[in-house]
Amino acid sequence: MSVLSGKNILLGVTAGIAAYKTSFLVRHFIKAGADVKVVMTPSAKDFVTPLTLSTLSKNPVYSTFYDKNEENELWNNHVDLALWADLMVIAPLTANTLAKMAEGICDNLLLATYLSAKSTVYFAPAMDLDMYQHETTSTNISTLERRGNVFIPPAYGELASGLEGEGRMAEPEEIVAFIQKDLTASLPLRGKRVLITAGPTYEAIDPVRFIGNHSSGKMGFALAEAAAQLGATVILVTGPSNEALHHTAIDRIDVMSAAQMYQTIHKFYGEVDIAIFSAAVSDFTPKVVSSQKIKKKTSEMQITLVPTKDILASAGAVKNNQYLVGFALETENELENAKDKIRKKNLDLIVLNSLQDKGAGFRSDTNKVTLIDKNFQIQEFGLKSKQEVATDIFNEILKSVHA
């Protein structure tokens, strides 16, 4: 999953020859998971058609304040367009529109939308060599940067005039990479390593049977995606789960048993900044595992169980500046049992689940949690999707952990 996934991108297109590249730019944004709308200056339509960009973006393309061909002449609201956008990208940006942006001139829909923008605006100039080297161009670029806009430098190469030099609009894939890098640099967990456990463990009885639980891994996977979206590099150690990952910054390691999870956790634990143990690890495992399938010979069968290693307690015992989060699934004396875990296992935060709450717990897409920190400050949350719960958990973590 890209950092652009789920973002609303408003693409502004001005009347330069590089406008033909915007069809590729739209495709790259959509491939990265973004939703794209396009605003064009009227003259930009001479270089690339609105039909092309609307087909690729699957959204209407806007170029005038109202649709003259509509019977009721519907108004294209520049304020609504600006508020819709998570970020605005103007590419190509001609010298003419650059100067108007610097001076605050508002004589078309694109400029009105730019002046209404609340989100970050990226701009990628495209013009001939002499125009790009002119003093007013560098002054106008500096003005936009001083106001918080982000400059995507042009490339060096052959220009429309036949000259060779700076002025070519950056290639579409370069623009996307630039924006992704810029957005990642500002994420709160950039440079942090996060270790997360998820799912159940299966404790073998024989080659075909096991002791397990109903955990699906949904909560742990949601936490992994949330951490990656915040800029972290994530190691997800998961028991058997059908859940899928989407973000490329997550390294998934599959294990089966509690012993395998213990070994894997301690392989990486010393290298991470944050550890969140959301897996439903079996408390017991068979003392003896049969090498052959056990036959049904009598009406009763006994299996001797022995305790598994307490992964969370072992991590707390060797904690060295890691922010350690545990989960507690309780059925009685919930708050006291959760507080007791914080003390005994040296936790910074515990996430309390209750099987008493409808819609929470294993296999559900929702969860209802209470967060308790090491100072026993309590926050209760209503029933939410597990993605929203993951966000709440990281909002709490970010109060103590800084990039």
Q: How do residues 28-54 score in pLDDT, each as one tens digit?
A: 999 998 999 999 999 999 999 999 999
Rg for the chain (alpha carbons), in Å?
A: 28
Burial (CB count within 10 angstroms: exposed 0-12, middle 13-18, buried 19+), residue 110:
buried
The CB density around residue 402, as the number of other CB atoms within 10 Å, is 8
CA 286 from chain center: how many Å? 40
N- to C-terminal Cα separation, the chain: 21
Examine domains 8-185 and 193-397 and report if their fold is the same. Answer: yes
d(CA 189, CA 401): 8
3-state secondary structure of 196: strand
Phi-psi region of 266 (alpha: psi -120 to 50; beta: other; left: phi over 0): alpha
pLDDT tens for each residue of the chain, 403 residues long: 578 888 999 999 999 999 999 999 999 999 998 999 999 999 999 999 999 999 999 999 999 887 766 555 667 788 899 999 999 999 999 999 999 999 999 999 999 999 999 999 999 999 988 899 999 999 999 999 999 999 999 988 777 777 777 778 999 999 999 999 899 888 899 989 999 999 999 999 989 889 988 889 999 999 999 999 899 999 999 999 999 988 878 999 999 999 999 999 999 999 999 999 999 999 999 999 988 888 887 777 888 999 999 999 999 999 999 999 999 887 678 888 899 999 999 999 999 986 666 666 666 778 889 999 999 999 999 999 999 999 999 999 999 886 4
Instruction: Kindly indicate whether the domain formed by 193-397 is annotated with CATH number 3.90.1300.10.
Output: no
d(CA 57, CA 357): 42
d(CA 11, CA 25): 9
Active-site hit among 77, 213, 337, 346: 213
CA 287 vs CA 204, 256, 306, 308: distances in Å? 10, 17, 6, 10
Strands 284-286 and 274-277, sheet pairing: unpaired
Residue pair 323/272 in contact by the 8 Å Cβ criterion: no
φ/ψ of 249, rounded to 5, equals -85, 10
Domain 8-185: which CATH number of 3.40.50.1820, 2.40.320.10, 3.40.50.1950, 3.40.50.920: 3.40.50.1950
3-state secondary structure of 214: coil
Per-residue tokens: 379: 């926050």
Phi-psi region of 361 (alpha: psi -120 to 50; beta: other; left: phi over 0): left
The CB density around residue 56, as the number of other CB atoms within 10 Å, is 19
d(CA 302, CA 290): 13
Residues in contact with 386: Cβ distance below 8 Å, sequence separation at least 6, in sequence order: 218, 219, 222, 364, 365, 366, 367
Query: Given this model, what pLDDT does residue 43 score?
Result: 95
Give me the residue spans of the domains in the chain. Answer: 8-185, 193-397
3-state secondary structure of 9: strand
Verify whether residue 346 is a known catalytic residue. Answer: no
d(CA 59, CA 264): 47
Q: To 10 degrees, what angle do helices 95-103 and 135-146 make? A: 50
Residue pair 182/154 in contact by the 8 Å Cβ criterion: no
3-state secondary structure of 45: helix
Per-residue tokens: 277: 């143990």
CA 274 vs CA 195, 249, 315, 384: distances in Å? 6, 15, 11, 23
Query: Given this model, what pLDDT does residue 69 score?
Result: 63
In the annotated binding site for CTP, the residues are 283, 293, 327, 341, 345
Residues in contact with 225: Cβ distance below 8 Å, sequence separation at least 6, in sequence order: 1, 245, 246, 247, 250, 387, 390
Query: Given this model, what pLDDT does residue 360 score?
Result: 62
